[in-house]
Structure formats: C-alpha cells, structure tokens
C-alpha cells in the first residue's frame, strides 16, 4: 500500500469531484447517446440474451452495428455478466432509432434515438443501459485514481499536483460524458493507465511484483481494445531499464508473452477464424469500402501528413469536449489550462536540454505517449479520429500538464493558482452538462394554446398531426445571406403510433441558387416525434436557418418555406413513406408557409419600361432561337399588390394575329404577387413556342390581369400591354 501512503486526501477529493461531475452528465443525457454507443449496447445485449458473440455474417444485424463485432470483448463480457438477469425485450419501445442521427445532409440531429419520457425507477432496457453506464463510471474512477497515484509517484513532494492532475482529467467534459456512456473506451483507458502506473512503480521501487502485475493488466487492456497493444513497447522499455541482465529481462518478456497468450490468445484465434486477421481490419475494409477505412501507409508521406494536419483540430477538440458540445467556454477553459501546462512542460524540457527525459522512471510514460501519437496519426491519415482514441494516454498527459504549471508558477504561486484553476475546471465541466449537453436532448416547449403572435394554419398530416401555426419574419436578407428564425406550432388531434419525421425546406425559386438550408428529422431537433405527444398540447418547434450568400444577380431571390411530414420504414431501408395531407395541395412539396427573400446584389436603377398599379415592368426582352422564344422579364414591386396577378405573354404577327401564348402568375405561380414586398425585383423567364419560326417583324406583348376577371390591367399611361420586339438569342441577361 506504499503507493497510497499520503495520497488518500487527494484520491478522495479528485474522485468525489469527478463522480459529482460525471453524474451530472448521467442525469442530463438520455441513455445510449454518443458515438457508436448503441452498437456497443447491442454487443452487450447479444451476449446477455443469447450467450454468444455478435455474428457479423448474420443478415439480421444492422450494417452500422457489424463493425463492433471486431471489438475485443472484455468490456462486453463484464457488462453482460452484470445485466444478464435484466430483461431488455422492451428496447425497441423505449429507444426508437432516429433515421437522421448525425447526418450532415439532414440537419444534424444530435440524438441517436427517440426517447420516450421516463417516469419513476428505470426498468427493462433502460435499467440495463443505466447499469452498464455505472460500470463505465467505475472504470473512469479507476482512471482518475491512477492519474492521482501517478502524479504522487513522480512528484512525491507536491500534493497539490496530485489533486490537480486528478481534477484535470475529471474536468474534461468529453471524458465525463464518455464516463457514463456504454463504450469499451472506458475500460481500455482505465487498464492502460493502471498498467502505466505499475510500470512506473516497477522502475521507482524496483519490486519485481509490479512487473508481473503490469504484464497481467496489459494483457487485460488488450482484451478490452486492441489499440492497447502499444503498451508492449512501454513494458519492454521498462523491463530493459528495471532489470540489469538480459536473462531477467527475457523472463519478463516471456511472462508478458504468457499473459497475452492466456488472456488474449483465444480471442485472437476467434478473430482470425472469423475475420481473417487479429484486428479485423481486412474485414472492415472489405465490408465498408466507402466508410470505415483503416490506416494505410501506402500513400505518399506528404498526403498522410496533410491529412493528419487537416484533421488534427477535430481530434484535439473532441479530446476536450464531447461531440455534442459546440464548444464555447466548455472548450476554451480546459483547452487553455491543458495547453498552458503542456507548453510549460515543453519549455522546461527545452531549458533543461531534455535531460529529464533520460530519467528511467519517465521512460514508460514517454514511450506510451509516443505510441499513442503514432496510433492517432495513423487513424488521422484516413478519417476524423475522435479524441477519445487518445484517452489511454490521458493520465501521463494530465501529470505532464500539471508539472508544467508548477514550473511556470513557481513554489509561491503554484498552490493558490492551481487550486483556483482546478475549481474553475470542475465548475465549467459540471455546468456543461446542463447548459450545453442537456439542451441537445431536451424536448421542445409545450403550450396549452396557440400563441396570439402565431399565424394560424390548418394542415393535417396522417389524419392526426396538425400544423396549427407558425411565426416567421418577413424581412429581406442582404446578398451576404444570414440567419433567419422559424417557429412551427404542432398539435396532436388523434393518437398515432408512427414516429413521423418533419421536413423544412427553404427552396430557392431561382434555378442557379441554392439556399443551403433545410431540416429533416423529428420535431424538436429530432427529439420529440408525434407518437410521444399528448393530445391537444401545442408543441413549439423552433429553427434558425443559415442562408448562403447569393451570386451577383440583379433580382430578388425568393425562398419558399415549405413544411411537411413523412414516415420512415422501421429498418430505415426502402426510402420514405408518404402520409396523407389535408389540404391535398400540400402533398407533394409540403405546405408553403411564407417566403423569405435575398435582396438584389445590384438593385436596378433604370427607368421602368411600363408602370402598372403597384408593380413596374423594369425591363423585358424576347430572345428568339428557331421556333422558341424566351421572354425575359424583370418586375419590381412598388407596394404589395392586393390581388394575385397573372402575367400574359403573347406572340403576335405583324398583322395582329395570335401565334403563341402563355398565361401564368410570375414564376409559374411559385411566388404569388400577393407575397411581394416593396422593392422586390423578380426576374422571370416565360417560354413560347411557335409552330413555324416567327418573322422578324413579329412581336411579343406582355401584360397583367387578375383572376377571375380576364380584363387587362392598364398601365399608368393607359396602355393594356407592353410590346417587345424579337431579337436573336445571344445570351441571357442577368
């Protein structure tokens, strides 16, 4: 127990702070949320229910879950042993898979599942998930403890650094979030940290028992996750340093080989028989050719280095904040503390000409950090590697950062500053759970009645879900684009058992511009499908859409805001399933709620070709190509017309005979004139087709009328139309 001597206060303080913070994430986030977490749970569930490992060749296994079958099994075996008496047959009822989870094309729903409201004590699958999360929490507590003990072993005269190192690990929001998630990263991190501590104690105290125990924990770490195999390098380095003769060194090498053979050999045989190699990489590459790529060194070194540099910021960010955290103070504070500490440690090494690295007791730490850096670079060379892959080296990194702070502050300031910094880190981490993570999964607000500020609607989907109203600004954006809010108000009129999905499409009415704004997913950012709703309650569904900048066109770009609903097959295959819509006019592209607009980049200042009541025809041109004529019109609204206007365009012969005609509202009715706002400039192209090529003396006339009347609306000069000459097509005006 000598490693624990004097360390109990630091252990208690660091572990208490960590458990308090981690429990905030435990309470703030619903079950089974996080990267690959549902797949890890399915692995445990298969072991507990069927007493077998997942079969990747089983066609009933979802493709996204199959790659977890290549994971080494210790975490899953431990978790299954704990939860095997708990029935989990209700899993599909309490956690319904979200088809739009983390899809950047469809609004980036943050939640992997639709979670029914839980009441009272958990049971069934929810209880099993929570119990496994507690297993993960115990693993993470081991990591915090080993970090404190590692600092105590390396820095025996500075108790403040023991506490600070443990609190630094405890206060990384991503680590806290992961600590209460169903994932084998927690166990491999704990066992890797414990192995490293035993290696350091072996070198520090010279007791051979530490060498044998570290061989066992190393083998267990590998059985948790294969990336721990790099610990063999640290172990061999420690053995060569701790033991003076090759005979004794070889005995430890043999002991390590024996531990790996006994603990991991059976699984290696299973992997080779099932996947063709111990890692399963070859199977992954063949099964997921467009996604799960393994590191490859066959590419040019410059390409590999470029990928690493480009993707490293993602790894660094997710090392500190979980993938569901946007950053802000949750990222800035721990990132600043960690960066300053590591830079301080680097400055100390440079100033001392790297002599401390020659200290034997530091060699396992150094070797392990280097191995993890190489592994991380390998993954970064092919895809965005999350920071959790580096957590097996979190303990030495935390100790190094605290040592760096100590050197920068000096003996006078190290205690008060580190105490204050550690407290700030813990407060920020705890606050992140409720201020950042919890809102990602929270249900939207619910009201008893439609607010007076809402514009009422009555659009019913699947004979059950009513879009009862909306709120949206009627402002125009500058050509630079920007953000626009939209609030929808939904109401359940009849019970429904389908988790319907919503779409909100901001559709440009100009062919060569795409707004880049859309949403697909359940109401409430993907959290609250209609089958969870209570009858009569009004669901407040709020969005903020970012509209892309527009090209330099001299016309307003109207954006139609369209909303609809659809169902998705339970297996997420076979496309979408349309649902009934009332009114039927909203069945195809959704109900058009309102129009947003982007202002012209260069508003026209020309004298109008004709002035009608409320609108001007700024310019018009009839371009002829063979039998076809494109009539390009540019309208401007002086005020909002009180009626929806129809544009008539006619091709007339020189003697006034009608050759071709086109009657339709502007933009074929997609942007009614009753929606026009003052100073809108609407470019419209109307096609005409003649049976024979028009003669040069033929012309086109353009005018307006308002249904149900077909009487032509006169210009302010009393003319019933505007005449446009035919010109050969040489291009399209902008």
- For residue 220, being part of any structural domain is answered with yes
Do 146 and 51 belong together in one domain? yes
Lowest-pLDDT choice from 93-102, 224-233, 334-343, 653-662 = 93-102
Q: Which two tokens stand for residue 609?
A: 């070709």
For range 254-264, the mean pLDDT? 96
According to the model, what pLDDT value does residue 733 have?
A: 41
Phi and psi angles of residue 398, each rounded to the nearest 5 degrees, phi first: -65, -40
In order of 156, 214, 233, 361, 608, the CA distances from 357 in angstroms are: 18, 22, 16, 9, 80
Angle made by CA atoms 137, 141, 145, in degrees to the nearest 5: 170
Going by C-alpha positions, the residue among 654, 608, 655, 658 that lies closest to residue 633 is 608
- Least confident piece of the model among 24-28, 109-113, 262-266, 522-526: 109-113
Same domain assignment for residues 634 and 530: no
Confidence of residue 4 (pLDDT cuts 50, 70, 90): low
Residue tagged 């008539």 (tokens): 648
- What CATH number is attached to the domain comprising 672? 2.70.50.60
Question: CA end-to-end span of the chain, whole Å?
Answer: 81
pLDDT tens profile 694-727? 888 899 999 999 999 999 999 999 999 999 999 8
Question: Where is the domain boundary, 396, 418, 439?
Answer: 439
| Cis status, amide bond into 211, omega within 30 of 0 | no
One domain for residues 235 and 338: yes
Q: Identify whether residues 620 and 552 lie together within a single domain.
A: no
Within a domain: 603 = no
Is the domain of 149 the same as that of 265?
A: yes
176: helix, strand or coil = helix
Residue 604 domain-assigned (yes or no): no
User: How many domains are there within the chain?
Assistant: 3
Burial status of residue 82 (CB atoms within 10 A of its CB: 0-12, 13-18, 19 or more): middle
Neighbours of 692 (CB within 10 A): 8
Is residue 266 one of the residues assigned to a domain?
A: yes
We report the CATH number of the domain holding residue 542 as: 2.70.50
* 430 and 450 co-located in one domain: no
Q: Report the pLDDT value the prediction gives residue 632, as an integer from 0 to 100.
A: 94
- DSSP codes of every residue in 108-123: -B--SEEEPPP-SS--
pLDDT reading at 353 higher than 60:
yes
Mean pLDDT along residues 519-546: 92
Mind giving me the DSSP string for 243-261? -SSHHHHHHHHHHHHHHHH
pLDDT tens digits, 541-558: 999 999 998 877 678 889
User: What residues make up the domain containing 272?
Assistant: 2-13+21-101+120-282+296-439
Contacts of 232 (CB under 8 A, 6+ apart): 218, 256
Tokens 């009934």 sit on residue:
580
What band does 732 get if pLDDT is binned at 50, 70 and 90?
Answer: very low
Q: Please report the pLDDT score of residue 572 as a whole number.
A: 62
**What does the pLDDT read at residue 734?**
35
Tell me which range, 12-26, 470-484, 514-528, is most confidently predicted by mean pLDDT: 12-26
In the prediction, which pLDDT does 294 show? 47
Q: How confident is the model at residue 669 (pLDDT cuts 50, 70, 90)?
A: confident
CA dihedral (452, 456, 458, 459) positive or negative: negative
Domain ends where: 409, 439, 469?
A: 439
Confidence of residue 472 (pLDDT cuts 50, 70, 90): very high
Confidence of residue 346 (pLDDT cuts 50, 70, 90): very high
Which whole number is the average pLDDT over 395-420? 94
Residue written as token pair 């960690």: 338
Same domain, yes or no, for 34 and 180? Answer: yes
User: 409 and 465, same structural domain?
Assistant: no
- Give the least confident one: 9-18, 224-233, 484-493, 584-593: 584-593
Instruction: Tell how many helices (H) and how many strands (E) occur in the chain.
Output: 19, 22
Final residue in a domain of this structure, among 391, 409, 439: 439
Looking at the domain assignment, is residue 115 inside a domain? Answer: no
Q: Which residues of 661-691 are buried (b: 16+ CB within 10 A; e: fewer)?
A: ebeebbbeebbbbebbeeebbbbbebebebe
Q: Which is more confidently placed, 372 or 733?
A: 372
Give yes or no: residues 490 and 512 share one domain.
Answer: yes
Q: Is residue 112 part of a domain?
A: no
The share of the chain scoring above pLDDT 90, in percent, equals 60
Whether 289 is covered by a domain: the verdict is no
Task: Answer yes or no: do 416 and 456 share one domain.
Answer: no
Residue 605 lies in a domain: no
Contacts of 11 (CB under 8 A, 6+ apart): 4, 145, 148, 149, 166
633 and 590 in one domain? no
Question: Coil, strand or helix: which one is 597?
Answer: strand
487 against 37, higher pLDDT: 487
Report the C-alpha gap between 302 and 22 in whole angstroms.
41
- Cα–Cα nearest to 28, from 91, 145, 147, 115: 115
Q: Are residue 278 and residue 381 in the same domain, yes or no?
A: yes
């Amino acid at each position: 127990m000598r490693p624990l001597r004097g360390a109990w206060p630091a252990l208690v303080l660091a572990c208490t702070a960590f458990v308090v913070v981690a429990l905030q994430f435990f309470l703030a986030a619903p079950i089974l949320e996080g990267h690959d977490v549902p797949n890890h749970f399915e692995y445990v569930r298969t072991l507990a229910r069927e007493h077998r490992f997942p079969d990747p060749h089983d066609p009933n296994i979802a493709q996204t879950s199959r790659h977890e079958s290549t994971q080494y099994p210790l975490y899953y075996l431990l978790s299954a042993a704990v939860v095997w008496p708990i029935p989990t047959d209700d899993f599909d009822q309490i956690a319904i898979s979200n088809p739009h989870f983390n899809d950047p094309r469809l609004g980036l729903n943050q939640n992997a599942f639709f979670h029914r409201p839980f009441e009272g004590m958990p049971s069934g699958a929810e209880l099993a998930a929570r119990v496994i999360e507690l297993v993960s929490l115990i693993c993470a507590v081991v990591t915090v403890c080993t970090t404190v003990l590692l600092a105590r072993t390396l820095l025996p005269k500075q108790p403040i650094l023991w506490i600070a190192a443990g609190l630094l690990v405890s206060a990384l929001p991503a680590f806290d979030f992961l600590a209460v998630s169903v994932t084998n990263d927690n166990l491999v991190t704990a066992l890797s940290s414990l192995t490293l501590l035993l290696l350091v104690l072996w070198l520090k105290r010279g007791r051979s028992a530490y060498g044998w125990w570290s061989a066992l924990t190393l083998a267990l770490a590998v059985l948790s996750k294969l990336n721990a195999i790099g610990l063999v390098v640290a172990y061999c380095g420690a053995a060569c340093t701790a033991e003076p003769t090759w005979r004794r060194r070889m005995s430890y090498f043999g002991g390590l080989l024996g531990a790996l053979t006994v603990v991991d050999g059976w699984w290696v045989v299973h992997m080779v028989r099932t996947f063709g190699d111990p890692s399963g990489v070859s199977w992954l590459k063949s099964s997921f050719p467009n996604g799960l790529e393994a590191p490859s060194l066959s590419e040019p070194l410059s390409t590999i280095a470029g990928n690493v540099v480009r993707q490293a910021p993602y790894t660094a960010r997710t090392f500190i904040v979980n993938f569901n955290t946007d950053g802000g103070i949750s990222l800035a504070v721990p990132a600043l503390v960690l960066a300053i500490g590591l830079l301080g440690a680097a400055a100390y090494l440079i100033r001392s000409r790297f002599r401390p690295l020659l200290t034997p007791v530091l060699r396992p730490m150094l070797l392990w950090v280097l191995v993890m850096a190489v592994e991380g670079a390998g993954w970064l060379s092919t895809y965005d590697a999350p920071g959790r892959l580096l957590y097996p080296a979190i303990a030495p990194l935390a100790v190094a950062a605290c040592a760096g702070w100590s050197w920068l502050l000096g003996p006078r300031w190290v205690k008060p500053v580190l105490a204050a910094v550690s407290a700030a880190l813990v407060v920020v981490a705890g606050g992140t759970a409720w201020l950042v993570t919890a809102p990602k999964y929270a249900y939207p607000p619910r009201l008893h009645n439609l607010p007076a500020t809402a514009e009422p609607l009555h659009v019913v989907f699947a004979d059950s879900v009513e879009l009862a109203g909306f709120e949206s600004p009627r402002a125009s954006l500058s050509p630079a684009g920007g953000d626009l809010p939209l609030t929808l108000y939904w109401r359940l009129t009849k019970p429904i058992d389908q988790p319907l999905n919503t779409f909100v499409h901001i559709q440009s009415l100009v062919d060569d511009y795409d707004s880049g704004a859309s949403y697909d997913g359940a109401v409430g950012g993907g959290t609250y499908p209609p089958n969870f709703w209570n009858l009569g309650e009004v669901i407040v569904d709020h969005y903020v859409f970012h509209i892309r900048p527009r090209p330099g066109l001299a016309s307003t770009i109207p954006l139609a805001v369209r909303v609809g609903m659809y169902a998705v097959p339970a297996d997420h295959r076979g496309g979408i399933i349309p649902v009934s819509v009332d009114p039927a006019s909203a069945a195809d592209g959704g109900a058009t709620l309102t129009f947003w607009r982007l202002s012209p980049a260069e508003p026209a200042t020309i004298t109008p070709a004709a002035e009608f009541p409320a609108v001007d025809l700024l310019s018009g041109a009839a371009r002829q190509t063979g039998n076809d004529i494109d009539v390009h019109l540019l309208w401007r609204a002086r005020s909002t017309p009180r009626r929806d206007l129809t544009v008539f365009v006619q091709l007339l012969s020189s003697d006034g005979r009608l050759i071709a005609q086109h009657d339709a509202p502007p933009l074929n009715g997609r942007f009614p004139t009753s929606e026009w706002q003052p100073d809108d400039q609407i470019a419209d192209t109307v096609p005409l087709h003649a049976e024979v090529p028009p003669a040069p003396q033929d012309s086109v006339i353009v005018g307006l009328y308002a249904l149900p009347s077909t009487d032509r609306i006169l210009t302010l000069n009393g003319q019933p139309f505007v005449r446009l000459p035919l010109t050969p097509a040489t291009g399209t005006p902008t």
